[in-house]
Amino acid sequence: MTELKFLGHACFLLKNDKVTLLFDPFLTDNPISAASAGEIDCQYILVSHAHADHLGDAVAIAKRTGATIVSTAEVARLCAEQNVKAHAMHLGGKHGFEFGFVRITPAFHGSGVPGGHACGFIVNFFGKIIYHAGDTAIFGDMALLGRLESIDAALLPIGDNFTMGPQDAAEAAHMLQPKLVIPMHYNTWPLIAQSPEAFQEDVQTRFKIPVKILHPGEATELK
């Protein structure tokens, strides 16, 4: 069984009985977090960029668990300098891991590191394809990403202000054509307050793509 668990904001746990992978572990000081950094056990941590609400507790968790941080070269270097294992990649790159592969995708957003880039991830996790868009604006090449990989679940920001809002995220879902959409990066603070139910209704009505709303601490099985 492959389980995807939402921990709040843009943080997810992807796991089966062999490997646990963590995305953007902003847990400490996250007002909607469903877990503490000290209780997370994982082998890999994928970090989309170095803003505090995404890099978060990555280094602390990696030091405690021995997990490998996977990110763009600049962010990976920042983490490696703090004496943790890091695997550097970059936009357009793809690398094989014990669970399958990671493809680094563009994300139109600041990196939090001078000279760096924000990114998203397409992960083949034992045959299940998950797209974590990171913090991003909508961009036309999302249609290409949907052609490159048959996406089982797309994790899309809907908060607006810093990322896509619900309308743009709905169009992104249409371009990606995933089997399932899960909204993220909303309602953490008033500035990014949104109705996931309205987003769900829009995407399902207009594009016939299922949307599952996960509240912090909730999980879904990827079938």
Residue 71 CA to residue 66 CA, distance in Å, equals: 16
Per-chain mean pLDDT for the chain: 98
Instruction: Kindly report, residue by residue over 98-142, the tens digit of the pLDDT.
Output: 999 999 999 999 999 999 999 999 999 999 999 999 999 999 999
Q: How far is 53 from 30, CA to CA, in rounded Å?
A: 8
* Burial letters 17-45, b for 16+ CB under 10 A, else e: eebbbbbbbbbeebebbbbebeebebbbb
Q: Which residues neighbour 167 within 8 Å (Cβ) at sequence distance 6 or greater?
A: 202
Report which residue type is found at 99. Answer: F
Q: For 145-167, how does the pLDDT look when each residue is reduced to its tens digit (9 = 90+)? A: 999 999 999 999 999 999 999 99
Position 185 confidence tier, pLDDT thresholds 50, 70, 90: very high
Write the CB contacts of 83 (distance below 8 Å, at least 6 apart in sequence).
63
Q: Sheet containing 181-184: which strands, arranged edge to edge?
A: 94-97, 100-106, 119-125, 128-132, 153-157, 181-184
Q: Which tokens hold the place of 115?
A: 């000279």
Note if the pTM is more than 0.95: yes
